[in-house]
Amino acid sequence: MDRDTFINLPLKLALGVIWDVASQRLRDMPAPEVPRPPRYDGRLGRRGGYVWMSELTLESLTWWHQKKAESAAARTEWSDKDGKTAATLAKWIEWRAISPNEVWSGTRGEDRATAAPPSREPKLNAWDNSKTNGTRQQGAAKDEDYGEDYE
């Protein structure tokens, strides 16, 4: 059998041929540990909001990991935060490397969620810094409280 014939075999047949040829050596090897998907999703801040790490492609995760690792090494005011983000991204990269198209399911905040499929341009979500679901907290300042010169 030549190379072209082998690479055109269906996957199950090709794996069977590999097993038959290398079975003794494979039997002596321990099975590799398969990375599990991260339990918790992470937010990655972008201009105008954030994206979920679970919805990024492997290439995007790798690019952001490099940027955050460089920032962490630069010892700026954001180094600690960027170091933690880089560590989280590394976990996503490990899983995405073997599951590039798998849809993630897990925990976002306190809720169970299923992510959108990985994309180069995932949905940009707006930051929601209020704990009141868009309603103003009682006693919060209004624009009128600042006078007419406020704009």
Every domain of the chain and the residues it spans: 43-114
Cα–Cα nearest to 54, from 70, 38, 68, 67: 38
Query: pTM of whole model > 0.85?
Result: no
* pLDDT, tens only, 3-44: 899 889 999 999 898 888 888 888 888 888 889 999 999 999
The pLDDT of residue 25 is: 83
* pLDDT, tens only, 93-149: 999 999 999 999 999 988 999 999 999 999 999 987 654 444 434 444 444 444 454
Alpha-carbon distance of 76 to 60, in angstroms, equals: 23
